[in-house]
Amino acid sequence: MKRVLTYGTFDVLHYGHINLLKRAKALGDYLIVALSSDEFNKIKNKKSYYTYEQRKKILEACRYVDLVIPEDNWEQKILDVQTYKADIFVMGDDWEGKFDFLKEYCEVIYLPRTPDVSSTQTKDYLNKTI
Ligand code: C2G
């Protein structure tokens, strides 16, 4: 039973997120998503359209996601890997190298981002068309 762990805000869920979640799940049998809390988004300077609870509900409806846990800070990853017995840590390659410190605890894989789609782009487009 290979357990995969990934992190993110996943606001205004789009096919780039789904591509990431699908490939992450395909690396194992069980996918845990640590979802950025609204407070942590502030620390990341990210303003999400949907609240944590709304983003959690949307992610839980995704067939590739088995468990959603909160991401509250930058420092929790090592403890999360140990607590949830993650075998593989996965992130999009915009984070390439940033989490290599986890290699002591689990496999670290960066996957190519899906080009030309982002929550920001979608929100900007919708703002223009309203
Ligand atoms: N992603 C992707 N392709 C896109 C957009 C996003 O593969 N077109 C991936 C990102 O690389 C990330 C995941 O989808 O692995 C979630 O993206 P965000 O919600 O933007 O995550 P981010 O704000 O980068 O948070 O501690 C880590 C942070 O919480 C990561």
Predicted local confidence at residue 130, as pLDDT: 75
Q: Which residues is 53 bridged to in the sheet?
A: none
**Distances, alpha carbon 48 to alpha carbons 2, 11, 85, 108, 127, in Å:** 31, 6, 29, 27, 14
Predicted local confidence at residue 129, as pLDDT: 84
For the chain, give the mean pLDDT: 97
Predicted local confidence at residue 90, as pLDDT: 98
pLDDT of 101 strictly over 90: yes
Q: Is the CB of 92 under 6 A from ligand 1?
A: yes
Cα 64 from Cα 18, distance rounded (Å): 8
Ligand 1 atom having least distance to the Cα of 20: 7
pLDDT of 89 strictly over 80: yes
For residues 24-44, give the mean pLDDT.
Answer: 98
The DSSP 8-state label assigned to residue 49 in this structure reads S
Pocket test for ligand 1, best of 12, 54, 91 (most atoms within 8 A of CB): 91
Q: Which of these, 21, 22, 29, lies nearest to 3 by C-alpha position?
A: 29
The DSSP 8-state label assigned to residue 98 in this structure reads T
Q: Is the CB of 28 under 6 A from ligand 1?
A: no
For residues 55-76, give the mean pLDDT.
Answer: 98
For residues 12-32, give the mean pLDDT.
Answer: 98
Predicted local confidence at residue 71, as pLDDT: 98
128 counts as catalytic: no
Structure tokens at 113: 């981002």
Predicted local confidence at residue 76, as pLDDT: 98
**pTM, 2 dp:** 0.97
46 counts as catalytic: yes
Predicted local confidence at residue 24, as pLDDT: 98
